[in-house]
């Protein structure tokens, strides 16, 4: 069995043609989707990049692995302690390790472990390739490695290749010679208004807000001329969306070469192709611009397209799934994997209990299926846990990441996918229902913690001084807010975060 996992960083499903987008951003991916099952409600359990891939690879929630942030203690996996053997979990039981046990040659082409010092990610892979630019490389620098690998493995019948491209992750890095393919196209969904943008500029501070798109200032970087640094008006907003879409289109163009290589080798029909992402990208939603900094609908909602030989084609499957469900799904689709043996445990079945649940039947038939609700988390930019159920996205904020986010938010994402109206006060009974889901999820996962730890990593992050991407910025940023006619925001941030204001890192 050959499996190609295409990992397109920061990819919103609603900006792909196969998910209904009217711009021609993804012709090659759309062609795969016509031979695949497309999942409509697929979410990363833990956002953003590092926690998401930790969940994907381990089949476990961040509340279990401890990996929920981008810095500090909880940017690491929890130690396994006295029961750790010669190899750790990720060398024996994570996604590529399980596939290797099933007889596959496993390889990853990604600079992700280097960017985040997440060396556990390489566990279970026979071969690891890194362009060396820590996530700043454009896709055309990655694809030659993939094409060469496929040429060298031409005669190999069983392999798993994880292929990761960063486009369209900020900063937008599509080479300038690719032009501006969407400059003359109107926005497909002109939901943003000048009134809403002005409101964001006045009341929504923090990293990657409308006034400081690339962080905590608006200074352009000559190395990334495509990246807009401030959104002042609707023309700026369109430029931002155009460049994001250009990144999606550019990645699609490059990946088309890989799909073409499979056809050239005569193995396309028999190769499983999985296309997904680690998280989405807020493009103005909730006052966040070019960022994946919340546990909201847009950030956690990701595409999942699975072309599997002998299974459903051109099908749409509805139902809630996590990215961490993929590991048990692959085990199911492969008919199980051989028992793990080593000098300590011989002949016993895989002792691991994953949090993921198989949706292999959905892949086989294209039928609907999945869970009745999901709980998703974010602790790198803010500290939030959210519940996705029915038409609703309920967001509970424990640390606002200096964005002045309300503690409780509720959005009807069917009617309001861009999360423009908080309905928490209007529908308190829906909030109570969601809060019950959330409390039960936390209690169940703390009681049944497979690492035997009674520490909730969300509260560890807060105790360390807050989310990594805002830690240490408050003092200087409040001064900038005062200098840019947002003194009321600075005053409110000082009131909410007095301890962090004193602790200048």
Q: What is the mean pLDDT of the chain?
A: 94
The CATH H-level (homologous superfamily) assignment of domain 2-372 is: Alkaline Phosphatase, subunit A (3.40.720.10)
Please check the confidence at residue 14 and state whether its pLDDT lies above 60.
Answer: yes
The model's pLDDT over 432-484, given as tens digits with 9 standing for 90+, comes to: 999 999 999 999 999 876 666 778 999 999 999 999 999 999 999 999 999 99
CA distance to 102, 144, 289, per residue, from 161 (Å)? 14, 14, 32
Number of H helices, E strands in the chain: 17, 15
Nearest alpha-carbon partner for 234 in 277, 176, 283: 283
- Does residue 75 sit in helix, strand or coil? helix
φ and ψ at residue 453, rounded to 5 degrees:
-110, 140
CA distance 340 to 118: 25
What token pair was written down for 137?
Answer: 């490389």
Contact (Cβ atoms closer than 8 angstroms) between residue 151 and residue 262: no
H helix or E strand, kind and range, residue 409: strand 408-412
Which is more confident, 187 or 338? 187
Mean pLDDT of all residues in 202-210: 97
Question: Locate tokens 């999606």: which residue?
Answer: 248
Pairing between strand 2-8 and 271-276?
Answer: parallel
The model's pLDDT over 276-312, given as tens digits with 9 standing for 90+, comes to: 999 999 999 999 999 999 999 999 999 999 999 999 9
Hey, CA dihedral for 94, 98, 99, 104, is it positive or negative?
A: positive
Mean pLDDT of all residues in 92-112: 96
Give the whole-number percent of the chain exceeding pLDDT 70.
96
HSE-up of residue 145 (Cα within 13 Å, Cβ side): 22
Q: Is the peptide bond prior to 447 cis by the omega test (within 30 degrees of 0)?
A: no
Contact (Cβ atoms closer than 8 angstroms) between residue 121 and residue 112: yes
Residue 85 pLDDT level (bands cut at 50, 70, 90):
confident
The model's pLDDT over 222-262, given as tens digits with 9 standing for 90+, comes to: 999 999 999 999 999 999 999 999 999 999 999 999 999 99
Strand residue runs (E) in 211-361 = 271-276, 282-283, 289-291, 301-307, 315-322
The model's pLDDT over 208-223, given as tens digits with 9 standing for 90+, comes to: 999 999 999 999 999 9
Nearest alpha-carbon partner for 63 in 53, 80, 51, 72: 51
pLDDT, residue 341, reads: 47
The model's pLDDT over 306-346, given as tens digits with 9 standing for 90+, comes to: 999 999 999 999 999 999 999 999 999 999 876 654 434 34
Please check the confidence at residue 180 and state whether its pLDDT lies above 70.
Answer: yes
Mean pLDDT of all residues in 119-145: 96
Domain extents in the chain: 2-372, 472-502
Strand order in the sheet with 408-412: 46-47, 373-378, 383-389, 392-399, 408-412
- Does residue 205 sit in helix, strand or coil? coil
CA distance 424 to 353: 36
Q: What is this structure's pTM?
A: 0.96
Please check the confidence at residue 502 and state whether its pLDDT lies above 70.
Answer: yes
pLDDT, residue 347, reads: 45
Which is more confident, 501 or 77? 77
């Amino acid at each position: 069995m050959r499996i190609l996992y295409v990992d397109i960083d920061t990819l919103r499903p609603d900006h792909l043609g196969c998910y209904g987008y009217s711009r021609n951003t993804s012709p090659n991916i759309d062609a795969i989707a016509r031979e695949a099952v497309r999942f409509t409600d697929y979410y990363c359990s833990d956002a953003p990049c590092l926690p998401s891939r930790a969940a994907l690879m381990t089949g476990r929630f961040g509340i279990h692995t401890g990996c929920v942030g981008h810095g500090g203690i909880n940017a690491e996996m929890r130690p396994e302690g006295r029961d750790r053997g010669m190899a750790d979990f990720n060398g024996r039981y994570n996604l590529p390790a399980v596939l290797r046990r099933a007889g596959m040659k496993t390889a990853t082409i990604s600079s992700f472990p280097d960017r985040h010092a997440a060396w556990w990610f390489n566990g279970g892979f026979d071969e690891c390739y890194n362009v060396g630019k820590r996530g700043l490389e454009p896709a055309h620098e990655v694809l030659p490695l993939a094409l060469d690998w496929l040429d060298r493995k031409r005669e190999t019948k069983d392999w798993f290749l994880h292929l990761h491209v960063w486009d369209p992750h900020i900063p937008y890095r599509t080479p300038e010679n690719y032009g501006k393919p969407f400059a003359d196209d109107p926005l497909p969904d002109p939901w943003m208004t000048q009134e809403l943008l002005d409101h964001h500029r006045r009341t929504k501070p923090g990293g990657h807000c409308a006034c400081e798109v690339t962080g905590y200032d608006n200074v352009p970087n000559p190395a990334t001329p495509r990246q807009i640094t401030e959104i002042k008006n609707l023309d700026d907003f369109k430029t931002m969306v155009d460049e994001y879409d250009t990144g999606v289109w550019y990645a699609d163009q490059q990946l088309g070469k890989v799909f073409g290589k499979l056809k050239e080798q005569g193995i396309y029909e028999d190769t499983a192709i999985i296309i997904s992402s680690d998280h989405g990208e807020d493009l103005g939603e909730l006052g966040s611009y070019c960022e994946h900094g919340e546990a909201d609908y847009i950030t956690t909602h990701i595409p999942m397209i699975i072309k599997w030989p002998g299974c459903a084609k051109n099908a749409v499957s509805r139902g809630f799934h996590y990215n961490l469900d993929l590991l048990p799904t692959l085990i199911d689709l492969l008919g199980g994997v051989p028992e793990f043996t080593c000098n300590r445990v011989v002949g016993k079945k895989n002792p691991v209990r994953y949090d993921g649940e198989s949706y292999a039947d959905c892949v086989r038939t294209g039928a609907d299926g999945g869970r009745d609700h999901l709980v998703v988390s974010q602790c790198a930019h803010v500290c939030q846990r959210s519940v996705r159920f029915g038409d609703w996205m309920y967001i509970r904020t424990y640390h606002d990441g200096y964005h002045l986010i309300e503690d409780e938010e509720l959005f009807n994402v069917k009617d309001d996918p861009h999360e423009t109206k908080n309905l928490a006060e209007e529908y308190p009974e829906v909030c109570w229902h969601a809060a019950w889901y959330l409390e039960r999820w936390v209690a169940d996962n703390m009681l049944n913690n497979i690492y035997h730890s009674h520490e909730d990593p969300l509260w560890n992050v807060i105790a360390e001084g807050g989310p990594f991407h805002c830690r240490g910025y408050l003092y200087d940023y409040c001064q900038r807010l005062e200098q840019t006619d947002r003194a009321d925001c600075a005053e409110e941030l000082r009131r909410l975060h007095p301890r962090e204001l004193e602790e200048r890192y």
